[in-house]
Structure 1
Amino acid sequence: MLPPSQNSYPQIVLFGDSLFQGTADVSGGFSFQAALQTQVLRRFDVINRGFSGYNTSNALSILPQVFSPPTPGGPELKYLFILFGANDAAVPLPTNFQHVPLDKYKENLARIINHPIITAHKPKIFLVTPPPLDEIRVTVLDRANGHPSAARRTKVSAAYSEAVRQVAAEHPGVTLIDLHKALMDRAIEMTPGFDPKGPALGDPEGGVRGYLEHLLPDGLHLSTESYRIFYDLVRPHIGSEWAGTKDEDRVGYVLPDWRNAPWLEEDQHLRGKSL
């Protein structure tokens, strides 16, 4: 019989809105969360704490319910990925109340990073920029859903992504994951003839959706291809603890490989006695 573990598995937590909630989806044949869990299997638990519709003010209000202070034998928060902003950037409308002003958004991100429960774990923190927005597509869907106009705007969303870059730069030790840039770079690359010096893809001013149509099917949420791009940004930051070591496929296991388990010798000894 295997002995009980003395410690919980350390955690990688994905804390954000629907963009993290959607990392668990497998319907497109790829799951960001599953890919990350496979990468760290037996070393870390990947915890999805994505909440559709939440903004950073909501995140702060629920943070003590989502995270617990460190306790002996309890789970240790080792990596924290933070992705909020798509809802904070929603423009104020009578039909939508998700908006958080830009300065307040930056303040909220800083408060999440510096929250006493978070800092007590001393995790490696990653701030993720919200992705680009296809306002052309969003406008059609928002009006169909009863909004008088688009609930989100390309230029406004880009400003919130820039704010994440600024907050990350202001906090030593925090790593920036620039999802906005990675997806926009891919969209521009895959849109022949598009001039990036003009209005952005998805901006009604330019009138060109281009490859954003494939990366953001509803103008806001990520396609499977986008989640693959996102995972490719994250993957190099995880696993340095065991990369390049001897038997790196087993180094860092919370419970040992069966070949090296301390109870294996005891089992062999007992079997020898019974012969």
Structure 2
Amino acid sequence: MKKYALLFTAIGCSLAVVALQVSRQKASADIACHTVGTEAPRMAVLVIGESWAARGRLLPGMTEAIFERLDNGSVKVCTVGYSGRNTLEVLDAVHADFSSQRTGELLEGHELKNIVILAGVNDVVQHVGKESYTAGIQGLIDYWPGLTVEAVEIPWVIETGVSSGLPSQIKRFLQRHIFDEGKHEVIATYRLALAEKNISTIRYDAFIPSYTGNEHLYAPDGIHLTSETYRSYGKYLGSHINLN
């Protein structure tokens, strides 16, 4: 028992050291907005997430798809991406960045109706554990009471596409064995954990059912989509969010 206690102590210390080595200033919010129409009622949709929600990748397709579903009025979609952050880190950033005043300034008179959570890729790549992932998603849902908040299924990606230095590789290795039973492929596990919390999601598989066989839709890193596919993904999300 003493031997195992020393082993786990060593692992814990190593993880702490590595985490300190790889810690750096987190990327600030990357925000892009697009509006279609000028008439009332003026609704707004906020997409919150990691790099998949950054750089306006989903625009203008998402806005246009939502506008086509409206009987009247106009719509503004703002995408907010925190590149490199896992879901709990996105939640922390939202608490820091999105007061009611800040949100109102961003939406410029449009009434916020829907929140779409586009996060989870960094959770599986960093191996933070399914409990951390589900806690982050639930926290983001709870942050906007009274609104329609939907999470999107974690997309299929390949971990081998991650490019990082040795300290980050060591951190991922340790976390993979501590939180994910040493497994590389954990997307299905994280998805199931979210379903077991009775959190409904917008399906990713109806857009791209798997990475294998659809590699041409992804960037060379296997972690992101091509620019054209991101635009199509925006249209897909705009066609599937709940507007009721």
* Range of TM-score over shorter length: 0.5 to 0.7
Mapped to 1, the partners of 2:60 and 2:193 lie a distance apart of: 29
Query: Which structure has more strand as a fraction of its residues?
Result: 2
- Aligned partner of 1:249 in structure 2 is none
Mapped to 2, the partners of 1:111 and 1:9 lie a distance apart of: 27
Runs of 4+ in 1 over 6 A off after TM superposition: none
Mapped to 1, the partners of 2:232 and 2:171 lie a distance apart of: 27
Is the Cα contact below 8 Å between 2:44 and 2:112 reproduced in 1? Answer: yes
Is the Cα contact below 8 Å between 2:64 and 2:235 reproduced in 1? Answer: no
Q: Does 1:61 align with 2:74?
A: no
- Structure 1 residues 157-209: Cα deviation after superposition (integer angstroms, max 9, x where no partner): 33223334444xx14xxx52121563234x5xxxxxxxxxxxxx3xxxxxxxx
**CA pair 182-40 structure 1, distance change in 2 beyond 3 A:** closer
- Aligned partner of 1:183 in structure 2 is 208
| Structure 1, gaps ≥5 residues long | 26-31, 92-98, 188-200, 202-209, 242-275
Q: Does 1:226 align with 2:229?
A: yes
Mapped to 1, the partners of 2:134 and 2:215 lie a distance apart of: 27
What SS does the corresponding residue of 1:130 show, helix, strand or coil?
A: coil
Q: Relative to structure 2, which stretch is displaced further, 45-54 or 210-219?
A: 210-219
- Aligned partner of 2:24 in structure 1 is none
**CA pair 39-75 structure 1, distance change in 2 beyond 3 A:** same
TM-score, normalised to structure 1, is 0.55
- Aligned partner of 2:157 in structure 1 is 133
State which structure, 1 or 2, has the greater radius of gyration over its C-alpha atoms: 1
**CA pair 157-40 structure 1, distance change in 2 beyond 3 A:** closer
Question: Aligned AA for 1:212?
Answer: E
What SS does the corresponding residue of 1:158 show, helix, strand or coil?
A: helix
> What is the CA distance between 1:17 and its match in structure 2?
0.3
> What is the CA distance between 1:142 and its match in structure 2?
2.5
**Superposition pairs for residues 161-240 of structure 1, below 5 Å?**
161-167=191-197, 170-171=198-199, 175-180=200-205, 182-185=207-210, 187=211, 201=212, 210-237=213-240
Mapped to 2, the partners of 1:235 and 1:130 lie a distance apart of: 17
**CA pair 84-126 structure 1, distance change in 2 beyond 3 A:** same
> What is the CA distance between 1:148 and its match in structure 2?
4.4
> What is the CA distance between 1:239 and its match in structure 2?
8.8
Question: Aligned AA for 1:156?
Answer: V
- Structure 1 residues 211-234: Cα deviation after superposition (integer angstroms, max 9, x where no partner): 325324311011235325523532
Identity between Structure 1 and Structure 2 (%): 23
**CA pair 80-90 structure 1, distance change in 2 beyond 3 A:** same
> Which of residues 36, 55, 63 in structure 1 aligns to 2:62?
36
What SS does the corresponding residue of 1:48 show, helix, strand or coil?
A: strand
**Superposition pairs for residues 44-83 of structure 1, below 5 Å?**
44-64=75-95, 65-68=97-100, 75-83=110-118
**CA pair 240-51 structure 1, distance change in 2 beyond 3 A:** closer
Mapped to 1, the partners of 2:187 and 2:171 lie a distance apart of: 12
Is the Cα contact below 8 Å between 1:57 and 1:100 reproduced in 2? Answer: no
Question: Aligned AA for 1:158?
Answer: A
- Aligned partner of 1:256 in structure 2 is none
Mapped to 2, the partners of 1:15 and 1:37 lie a distance apart of: 15
Which protein has greater RCO, CA pairs closer than 8 Å, 6+ apart? 2
